Structures are given as structure tokens and as C-alpha cells.
Structure 1
Amino acid sequence: MVSFIRTQYNRSKKIIGMTSTLVGGFRAAQKVGAFGDGASRETLSPYVQQFCRRMAGSFGVKVVQVEPIPQTHGLWVSNHVSWLDIPVVGSVAPVFFLSKAEIGEWPIFGRLAKAGGTLFIKRGSGDAGSVSDQITAFLQGGSSVVFFPEATTTDGKQIKKIYGKLLKSAIDTGLPICPMVLAYVDQDGKLSDEAAYYGDRTMADSLKIVADSKGITAHVLPLAPISPVGKDIRALTDELQKVMEAGLAELHSRVLTA
């Protein structure tokens, strides 16, 4: 009975925290005129980072920069472990996110995503080229963007195959590819399976598991920027694969104790 009460209390506390963060996000967006055309993405960036930091915290996730994250303008990439990656990455890097266009029509999260400067991708028959062109225009406008090149979530133990077609936007703009790797660690110093969203887990399952979890820390390690100059997509993809595999191994060696 006591365990049940504690579980319900922990869930309720996180739900209240998430709700409070959403309300705060709406208030901040109204304050800077983000629901209209009055806020530039440069103005929005610190608000987006603050909102993401609070959202991660509302789920009980502590975000730690293993090394300071450079606030570099470029095409950012990260390994992909969970839906938690969005608030974690957004809390430390000066980036905006990609989203399917239809999500922009959602009543709550859609409005906040629009207010937060999200790049809504209009897909045409799965055409990665058109998506890359949209990212290129976004980057040329002075805003950095992040995407997850594994194209799926993992258990966080390794880097899966990287799909590099969207790296074309770095080639087209000459801007650096800015990789980072992240790892979720539990109180015992092991990779947190609770944070990972993979396999047969549904979104509802994952939310429940995270809500019931305790002491998850998201460690984020920035890696050296990759210049796209003089390289084609295949060369960049191969280089990024090796860099992220080595980076994740280094991160695990630095933050895992069990």
C-alpha cells in the first residue's frame, strides 16, 4: 500500500511539473510575441533552451554537460535514445527542431512548437532531397537545426547505422556539422533502460516508466565539429559514423561506473 501511494505521488508530482512547464512556455511565448510574427529565432533561442531545461527537469531528468556545449551555428546531430532527447538536446544547444508539418496543427504541443521556432517539414513522397533543401534555407536564415541521423531510437548502447542524406544541407551551406552524443545514467551508474524508448514500448508505456523512475541523469558530450568542405555525402556519412561511435564509447567510459 505504501509503495502504491509513493508511486502515485511520484507520478502526480511529475504530471504537475510538466503542466506547470507547459503553462510557463505559453506565458513566455506570449511575452516575446512568439504567437505572432514579433519574435525572431535569435530572440527565441534562450527561451527554447530554458523551456527544454524545465521540461527535462519536470520528468526528473538532470542534464549534465560533460564538457561545455559550444553555441555554434551549424547542422547539429545527436544519437537517438528517447523522446527525452528533445528537451535534453534543446536545453544545452542553440538549436531548433524538425517536425512533421501536421504536428503544427496540434492544439497544445503544435502551438508551442510553432512558437518555439520549429522547422515544419513538408514531405513529398519521402523525398529526402526536398527536406534537405528546407533545412538548407533554414540554416541560411541564421538558425541552427538538429536531427537524429540514426532515424530511430535505440537502447543507448551503441550507434546504429547513420543515414546521411540530410547532411547535404551542410554541404550546400558550408556550415559545420556539430555532433553530440548523450547517455542516460541511473542511480547505480548504469545506462538507464527506463529512459530508453525502443523495441515494443509504446509512448504510453514509456511515459509511465519515466514517470515512475528515479534519479536519471542525461550526460551530454559535444564532439569536434566536422567541416563539409570538399566532401560528398558518402564521405561525410562515413566520417560522422566513426566520430559518433568513438564519441559514445568515450562518453560511456567517462560517466558509467557500473
Structure 2
Amino acid sequence: MTHQKTEAIKTNSRGVVARYALYLRKIIAMLAAILAGFYLILRYRLDKQPNHPQNTKYVQYFCRRLCAVFNIQVKVHGEIPREPALWVSNHISWLDVAVLGSGARVFFLAKAEIAKWPIIGRLARGGGTLFIQRGSGDSVLIRDQITEFLQEDIPVLFFPEATTTDGRSVKKIHGRLLGAAIAAQRPVQVCVICYINQQGELDLVSPYVGQIGFLDHVKRVLEMDQVIAHLYTLPAIDTTGHDVESLTSLVHERMQTALAELQQKELGEVYVYDTQPTVTV
């Protein structure tokens, strides 16, 4: 074996070792963040009053630790309001929760299956997450519960697309839950997220789409280089005079416009989206 081949093998070996060492450090950091989450739940008994407004600061702390674990830098565009509102965002990945929670003090709405997930489900329940079974009629009960929360100045965020996308555009909006903001006479706070990699391109690792399993996607995220999550918040929408249909259409329009503006600013291009979307109320 030549000297050059020997050196090449050594260099490659060092690279593999370094990569696995970094991966191991991230795993340890993730476990530490999870333990910190359970510590917060137990130390401050968050599960006794999981939706107390004061608990949002603990949720925010946990989300910021998760962003650090997954090497996500959050860059906020616009103001993060503290006024009670119903928050809505486009949905790209389970990482959205960490990104949004690191920027805004809110509670989240999630699909019912997550409540049954080991570890994650327990953390979500302790963090005040509201769970909904899509299509089962529970949305009416959840809407009424969100209305009560908003009336008590408890901020809630949900993803009205009801599914994840690759981040290029906004899918149709399921706006039935927006009726909670109307009933509570609270504003709707629209925001959008865009993940950009180190090459200045739309990141394709962060999106949780396709047939990939959750654990496999977590592994990919742990292995990825730093990604910047751009969080763009718009002025809140006053719900006065709106019905669910008009509010749904306006929210969809604002989300699409905001995402296009964010893409143009950070990527220099705008992906094509449907300018006349069908909204589901």
C-alpha cells in the first residue's frame, strides 16, 4: 500500500470518528434537554395546571434548548407580540414547535396520536399541548376550549394546513378553529417559517414529509449542518366583523404573501403557489 493511500485512509477514518463523535454529543445533548423538560414538569408541577399562562416561559426555555440541540438558529423577522392571540403558522416539520416556541410564548395544538408517543407525549402534555382527533368531531370541543383559553388570556398556536409541506408554499387552510378567535374577540397572529441551509438554499432535511419514519428523520436532523429557521411575524388580524369563512380566506392570503416575501428576501426567489386557493372551513 502506498503512502498516499495510507494517509487517505487515516484522513477518512478521522473524519468518520469526528462525525460520530459529533453525533454522539448531539444525542447526549438531546437526552439532557429531555431530562430538563421532565425536571421542569416535576419541579414546577406543570402537569397540575398545564395551561397556566405563566407556564409558557418554561415551554419557551425547553424549545430554545431543543433548537440548540438540533443546531437550528432562529432568526425573527417582525415583532413577537405578548398580547393574547390565536397564533397560526405554516407547517413544515415537528421542528416547527421548537422554532415557534423559542420565539413566542404559546401553547400548541397537536394531533391526538402525539399524546400517546413515549416520552414526547408526556412532555407535550406537561407543556400544555392541546390534542385534537381530526375528523372525529372533536374540533368543535377543541374550538370551544381554545375560546375559553383566549378569554383567559392564554395564547394558543395551531397549524391550519393540518399537514406538513416541504416549505415551498402554503396548502389549503382548515379554518374551523379560527372561530375561537372570533368568539373570544381576540386577534389572530399570523406567522410563517422558512428553513435555509448553509448554502443559502431552501433546506430539504428539516421538512418532515414523505414516507420517512419519525426516528429516521430525527437521525437526519441530528446529522445535518446548522440551519437557519426564519420566523416572520405579521401584524395581528383584528377579528371584528369577520365570520369563519372570511377570516380563513384572509389568513390564507396573509400566510402565502408572507412566505413569498420571506423567500424573496432570504432566497432571492419565490416558489409558485396557488393564488386562488380553496379554503376548508
What TM-score does the superposition give when structure 2 sets the normalisation length? 0.84
Cα deviations across residues 81-134 of structure 1 (Å, max 9, x unaligned)? 111001111111121012345644555333322322222346782443232122
Tell me whether 1:158 sits opposite 2:169 in the alignment: yes
Tell me whether 1:173 sits opposite 2:184 in the alignment: yes
Separation in 1 of the partners of 2:202 and 2:22? Answer: 21
Select between 104-113 and 206-215 the one with higher mean Cα deviation.
Answer: 104-113
Q: Judging changes above 3 Å, is the alpha-carbon distance between structure 1 residues 67 and 140 closer, same or farther for their aligned structure 2 residues?
A: same
Separation in 2 of the partners of 1:201 and 1:104? Answer: 20
Separation in 2 of the partners of 1:204 and 1:32? Answer: 29
Tell me whether 1:77 sits opposite 2:97 in the alignment: no
Cα deviations across residues 209-243 of structure 1 (Å, max 9, x unaligned)? 11110011111010121111111111111111111
Q: How does 1:205-224 map to 2 (within 5 A)?
A: 205-224=216-235
Separation in 2 of the partners of 1:110 and 1:52? Answer: 15
- CA-based RMSD: 2.1
Q: Which runs of 5+ in 1 are unaligned?
A: none
Say whether the 8 Å CA contact 2:112–2:131 is kept in structure 1.
yes
Q: Judging changes above 3 Å, is the alpha-carbon distance between structure 1 residues 253 and 122 closer, same or farther for their aligned structure 2 residues?
A: closer
Equivalent residue number for residue 153 of structure 2: 142
Q: Judging changes above 3 Å, is the alpha-carbon distance between structure 1 residues 225 and 20 closer, same or farther for their aligned structure 2 residues?
A: same
Say whether the 8 Å CA contact 2:110–2:158 is kept in structure 1.
no
Q: Judging changes above 3 Å, is the alpha-carbon distance between structure 1 residues 190 and 77 closer, same or farther for their aligned structure 2 residues?
A: same
Q: Judging changes above 3 Å, is the alpha-carbon distance between structure 1 residues 204 and 29 closer, same or farther for their aligned structure 2 residues?
A: closer
Select between 181-190 and 205-214 the one with higher mean Cα deviation.
Answer: 205-214
Separation in 2 of the partners of 1:231 and 1:12? Answer: 51
Equivalent residue number for residue 21 of structure 1: 33
Say whether the 8 Å CA contact 1:121–1:134 is kept in structure 2.
no
Q: How does 1:60-75 map to 2 (within 5 A)?
A: 60-75=71-86
Select between 87-96 and 109-118 the one with higher mean Cα deviation.
Answer: 109-118
| Larger Rg over CA atoms | 2
Q: Alignment partner for residue 106 of structure 2, among 83, 89, 95?
A: 95
Equivalent residue number for residue 214 of structure 2: 203
Select between 234-243 and 108-117 the one with higher mean Cα deviation.
Answer: 108-117
Equivalent residue number for residue 192 of structure 1: 203
Q: Alignment partner for residue 36 of structure 1, among 26, 48, 68?
A: 48
Say whether the 8 Å CA contact 1:181–1:220 is kept in structure 2.
yes
Q: Which runs of 5+ in 2 are unaligned?
A: 1-12, 270-281
Q: How does 1:208-247 map to 2 (within 5 A)?
A: 208-247=219-258
Per the alignment, in what secondary structure is the counterpart of residue 146 of structure 1? Answer: strand
Equivalent residue number for residue 64 of structure 2: 53
Q: Alignment partner for residue 7 of structure 1, among 13, 19, 23?
A: 19
Say whether the 8 Å CA contact 1:56–1:87 is kept in structure 2.
yes
The code of the aligned residue for 1:237 comes to T
Cα deviations across residues 50-102 of structure 1 (Å, max 9, x unaligned)? 11011111111111112332222110000001110011111111210123456
Q: Judging changes above 3 Å, is the alpha-carbon distance between structure 1 residues 252 and 100 closer, same or farther for their aligned structure 2 residues?
A: closer
Q: Judging changes above 3 Å, is the alpha-carbon distance between structure 1 residues 59 and 137 closer, same or farther for their aligned structure 2 residues?
A: same
Separation in 2 of the partners of 1:218 and 1:168? Answer: 29
What TM-score does the superposition give when structure 1 sets the normalisation length? 0.91
